[in-house]
Amino acid sequence: MIIAHDEHIIEKARQAAKIAKQYKKIGDEQAQLAPEVVDAFRTTGYTLLTIGKAEGGDGANLYDFLLAQETLAAGDGAAALSIGWHLSTMQDLCENAGWPEDMFESFLKEVVQKQKIVNRAASEPNTGSPTRGGIPETKAVREDDHYVITGRKTFTSMAADLDYYLVTAYVEEDDAVGSFLISREINGVSVEKTWNPMGMRATGSDDLILEQVRVPRNHYVERNKKKSGPKGSLLHIPACYLGIAKSARDEAVTFAKEFQPNTLNEPIISVPHIREKIGRMDLELMQARHFMYHVANLWDSYPEKRKHMGPELAAVKVNATKAAAEVVDLAMRIAGGRGLSKSQAFEQHYRDVRAGLHNPPMDDAVLELLASQAEKKDN
């Protein structure tokens, strides 16, 4: 059993999950989180989870952050993944922003006092995932004390609901890639409704359009950034998919306890092959969850070792998303044809959980990383 270190943090997650679950179908239909869910992130203070206590946040360590995300995802996976990007971004910035000091202090004050929500906007139509190292086609051109930015960003989760975007762009005067803090309220910023996927629809990961957007010079907040080390905060991704799987497992068990066809004298929970599937679901979840939380505990307990934990972090994601998909598949088999019905929760779990295969890091990159590590150790 995984036990929280800070129950207050998990209670926030439970409150947000209750509302997210209530509006889950609406978000799936509209391909955007319902306004009530976004409001819940703010009113529950969930947006403050990963900000330090000294700065007005909850100061969640990685272990409790993941447990909160898993709890929220059991209510709605898309809601958890969406706000997870904000939370992971804030955790990384609070630990090592590297911004001009006055800019970060001003930005952090807004996030804490006004519950502002931010996400990075890095992916583009022609460069794909930023983890692959492509140079953005979005360009920033210096004009006196401003930069003029033009481009298009894809996969911008919560695009229409964000207050701020951290936009990567090619900066001509530096011949380098940098990031700019851009408010949604600035002229030239718009969102084009392009998000129409099979699963994780409510993330609202639409295209961010930047047309001759003028931002002050001091909003060029990240420049000539060295390659960062491993990021424990990205484990919010596997935590989300394990939350979806846990929800599917619970619903499958409930279904098996209650469904009794007229060919049986008792519910199908008594049928051997159903019991086998339930056992396999729990085995997959136990293995994946204990691996993830063990790595999170190592991250929290041994900060000096974090720079060497890249392979473990990457392996957690691959293992968790595969386990989550297997659990949901088993849940669907227990439900049978009824699991395909829109009136049941199973089919959305089935669609949503598969998106994990396309979140970073990708399987091929992780396996290459592990192979490279093995090669180094043997030399």
Q: How confident is the model over 78-106, as pLDDT tens digits?
A: 999 999 999 999 999 998 888 987 999 99
- The CA angle 235-307-310, to the nearest 5 degrees, is 45
Residues 144-152 have a mean pLDDT of 96
Nearest in space to 151 (alpha carbons), one of 111, 120, 123: 123
For residue 114, count other CB atoms closer than 10 A to its CB: 11
Q: Has residue 223 got a pLDDT over 80?
A: yes
* Spatial separation of the C-alpha atoms in residues 238 and 246, rounded to whole Å: 12
* Contact (Cβ atoms closer than 8 angstroms) between residue 357 and residue 339: no
Predicted local distance difference test score (pLDDT) of residue 224:
67
CATH of domain 7-116: 1.10.540.10
Residues 200-212 have a mean pLDDT of 98
Residues 45-63 have a mean pLDDT of 97
User: Under CATH, what is the fold of the domain 119-222?
Assistant: Butyryl-CoA Dehydrogenase, subunit A; domain 2 (2.40.110)
Q: Has residue 117 got a pLDDT over 70?
A: yes
Buried b (16+ CB within 10 A) or exposed e, 252-286: bbebbeebeeeeeeeebbeeeebeebbeebeebbe
* Spatial separation of the C-alpha atoms in residues 220 and 107, rounded to whole Å: 13
Q: Has residue 131 got a pLDDT over 90?
A: no
- Residue 147 pairs with which residues in a beta bridge? 142, 215
The DSSP output letter for 344 is S
Q: Where are the beta strands (DSSP E) in 86-138?
A: 118-121
SS3 of 160, please? coil
232-378 belongs to which homologous superfamily? Butyryl-CoA Dehydrogenase, subunit A, domain 3 (1.20.140.10)
The single residue listed with the structure tokens 């990963």 is 50
* Contact (Cβ atoms closer than 8 angstroms) between residue 59 and residue 90: no
Domain boundaries, the chain: 7-116, 119-222, 232-378
**Which DSSP string do the residues of 362-376 spell out, in sequence order?**
PHHHHHHHHHHHHHH
Q: Has residue 132 got a pLDDT over 70?
A: no
Predicted local distance difference test score (pLDDT) of residue 133:
66
* Spatial separation of the C-alpha atoms in residues 151 and 131, rounded to whole Å: 19
* Contact (Cβ atoms closer than 8 angstroms) between residue 324 and residue 288: yes
Q: Has residue 344 got a pLDDT over 80?
A: yes
Predicted local distance difference test score (pLDDT) of residue 126:
87
Mean pLDDT of the chain: 94
**Beta pairing class for 164-171 and 176-183:** antiparallel
Predicted local distance difference test score (pLDDT) of residue 379:
58
The answer for residues whose C-beta is within 8 angstroms of residue 347's C-beta and 6 or more apart is 332, 339, 340, 341
